[in-house]
């Protein structure tokens, strides 16, 4: 089994402030500033403000970043900073209970929401790609999606392998900011992970941080190592330097195959993220710069081959699924008409949780003290003794979830549990059990925070996959409830393909914050329950009928 993950080294001169010294006029502003700093410190290319997904940015440019910092430091408790696609544009008077920051990123008018128009606007410095948690300053490194990945592979194991991945080899691709969660998600469920990555610098980084324990340049050698580990019942994580499409094609034609296959390459952006077959990273950089049209053409040909190989493996009975990286949409655009015959991970494994308002909450200990992280973990253990999946996750985090920047924790909590946990932590801050306030946020991939017909809202029972009202409602409810930061993004995958909302609340120990917690952490997941019940998801209909949510519709 891989050794303990090591703390992620900082890679640039931006460091999140720690301790109890305020640089801003209040903890709500200070907490947001530390979240911004922490997001950049954990980024893939912090020098370019690129956080993950090859293009996801935290700010439009360095002047915009410094202006955001300056505005946050002077922002009053009755003012709100407005950020448009990574650039601060105004400060307006509001109320002490209003958000301190509102953000909107990459929201193009629907008929103009094309990749070409986005690239034109971005080239002119008018917008950025926000991804999910990059532009909303909620990225905490690989742990951000690690528990979700743990739960997805746990559900996969339950459906296909009797509850465990022990003795199984899972093939995936990509070791970037999102893909780095795949190896621990697989090994935490007892399996052997083989993750294909073409970029040697990413492999080196994941070896350094302990996400993978060995790397290979030869497929045959890597495969023998995987099969030996699986036969011994070991949970191991390996990297292979190769092109994921080439490797999937190899196994589609081979007699021996992985037990399960998915992918986390940056297929949402064929120019800046996905690497065509036959190119090294240096060759890819040169071609991208010299002939972007040729690059896109070759990347499109490769992604089509990649998807066809996955469909061939699935036809042979291998469980295969897309992990939300828009691989299918990219392949469809490049001639694979049956690309969406490959199922997505949300309807396969996640929807029952979302239907009950359960999803990825993350809290960040602004003190910077690992002791605060341990105290918060113990509070979660004590509050939810019957949540066996959560208890198992918390028992594994010391080994598998390194501290990257500020100490943080992601936990999947449902309606009611979120409010209880945040009230408990706010109380811990008030009593001095935590050394500084706590920033609480979540992924945009949550119960009612995203409309993405190729992922979160794929195959809704009533056919409402493309209805985009729900994330807007989520954002407005978070403003009404008094979240400290509220964000609304477009895309996160292909431009025009999705709408999503994010939020952050800073727990400063005050009674006023406790009141806002009770509002925000009821309505934020609650609208997700309502959304799924309205669509006819059975788990949501049952949960809503037995909850305290007053639904406005009649069954």
Q: pLDDT tens digits for 45-64? A: 999 999 987 789 999 999 99
Distance CA 136, CA 123 (A): 21
Q: What is the mean pLDDT of residues 33-37?
A: 98
Q: Are 70 and 62 in contact (CB under 8 A)?
A: no
| Full strand arrangement of the beta sheet holding 214-216 | 214-216, 237-241, 192-197, 169-173, 260-261
Residues of the chain with CATH 3.40.50.10730: 143-348
Relative orientation angle of helices 511-534 and 538-545, to the nearest 10 degrees: 130
209 has a pLDDT exceeding 90 = no
As annotated, the residues of the chain forming the CATH 3.40.1770.10 domain(s) are 358-438+462-482+504-545
Contact 384, 411 (CB under 8 A): no
502: three-class secondary structure by DSSP:
strand
Q: Which pLDDT belongs to residue 554?
A: 56
Architecture of domain 143-348: 3-Layer(aba) Sandwich (3.40)
DSSP code of residue 180: G
pLDDT band of residue 8 (cuts 50, 70, 90) is: very low
**From 3.30.530.20, 3.30.2320.50, 3.40.50.300, 3.40.1770.10, which CATH number describes the 358-438+462-482+504-545 domain?**
3.40.1770.10
Catalytic pick from 156, 226, 320, 411?
Answer: 411
Q: Which tokens is 435 given?
A: 């050394």
Distance (Å, whole) CA 31 – CA 503: 13
411 catalytic, yes or no? Answer: yes
Name residue 438's beta-bridge partners: 365, 507
Q: Kindly tell me if the per-residue pLDDT of 91 is higher than 90.
A: yes
- Which of helix, strand or coil describes residue 144? helix
Tokens 């530390």 identify what position? 34
Bigger pLDDT: 266 vs 139 = 139
* Arithmetic mean of pLDDT, 474-503: 89
For helices 469-481 and 511-534, give the axis angle rounded to 10 degrees: 160
CA angle 18, 20, 23 (to 5 degrees): 80
């Amino acid at each position: 089994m891989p050794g303990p993950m090591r703390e992620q080294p900082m890679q640039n001169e931006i460091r999140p402030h720690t301790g109890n010294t305020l640089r801003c006029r209040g903890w709500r502003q200070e907490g947001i500033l530390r979240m911004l700093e922490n997001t950049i410190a954990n980024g893939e290319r912090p020098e370019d403000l690129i956080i993950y997904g090859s293009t996801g940015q935290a700010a439009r440019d360095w002047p915009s970043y410094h202006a955001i910092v300056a505005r946050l430091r002077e922002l009053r408790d009755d003012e709100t900073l407005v950020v448009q696609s990574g650039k601060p544009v105004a400060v307006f008077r509001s109320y002490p209970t209003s958000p301190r920051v509102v953000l909107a990123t990459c929201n193009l008018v629907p008929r103009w929401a094309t990749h070409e128009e986005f690239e034109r606007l971005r080239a002119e410095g008018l917008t950025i790609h926000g991804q999910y948690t990059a532009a909303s300053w909620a990225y905490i490194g690989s742990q951000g999606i690690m528990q979700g990945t743990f739960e997805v592979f746990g559900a996969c194991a339950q459906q296909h392998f009797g509850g465990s991945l022990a003795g199984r080899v899972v093939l995936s691709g990509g070791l970037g900011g999102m893909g780095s969660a795949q190896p621990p998600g697989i090994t935490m469920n007892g399996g052997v992970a083989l993750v294909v990555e073409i970029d040697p610098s990413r492999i080196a980084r994941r070896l350094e941080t302990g996400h993978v324990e060995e790397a290979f340049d030869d497929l045959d050698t890597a495969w023998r190592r995987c099969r030996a580990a699986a036969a011994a019942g070991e949970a191991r994580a390996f990297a292979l330097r190769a092109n994921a499409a080439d490797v999937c094609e190899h196994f589609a034609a081979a007699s021996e195959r992985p037990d399960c296959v998915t992918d986390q390459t940056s297929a949402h952006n064929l120019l800046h993220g996905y690497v065509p077959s036959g190119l090294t990273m240096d060759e890819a950089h040169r071609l991208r710069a010299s002939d972007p049209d040729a690059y896109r053409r070759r990347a499109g040909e490769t992604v089509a081959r990649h998807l066809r190989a996955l469909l061939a493996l699935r036809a042979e009975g291998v469980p295969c699924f897309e992990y939300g990286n828009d691989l299918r949409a990219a392949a469809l655009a490049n001639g694979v008409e049956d690309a969406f015959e490959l199922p997505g991970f949300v309807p396969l494994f996640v929807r029952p949780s979302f239907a009950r308002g359960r999803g990825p909450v993350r809290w960040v200990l602004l003190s910077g003290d690992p002791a605060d992280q341990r105290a918060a973990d113990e509070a979660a253990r004590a509050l939810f003794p019957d949540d066996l999946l959560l208890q198992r996750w918390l028992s594994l985090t010391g080994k598998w979830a390194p501290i990257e920047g500020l100490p943080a924790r992601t936990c999947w909590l449902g309606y009611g549990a979120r409010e209880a946990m945040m009230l408990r932590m706010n109380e811990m801050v008030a009593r001095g059990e935590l050394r500084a306030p706590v920033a609480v946020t979540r992924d945009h991939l949550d119960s009612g925070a995203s409309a993405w017909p190729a992922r979160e809202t794929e195959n809704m029972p009533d056919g409402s996959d493309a209805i985009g009202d729900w994330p807007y409602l989520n954002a407005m409810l978070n403003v009404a409830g008094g979240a400290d930061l509220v964000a609304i993004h477009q895309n996160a995958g292909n431009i025009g393909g999705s709408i999503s909302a994010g939020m952050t609340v800073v727990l400063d120990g005050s009674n006023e914050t406790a009141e806002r917690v009770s509002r925000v952490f009821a309505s934020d997941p609650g609208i997700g329950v309502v959304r799924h019940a309205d669509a006819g998801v059975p788990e949501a209909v049952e949960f809503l009928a037995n909850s305290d949510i007053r639904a406005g519709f009649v069954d």
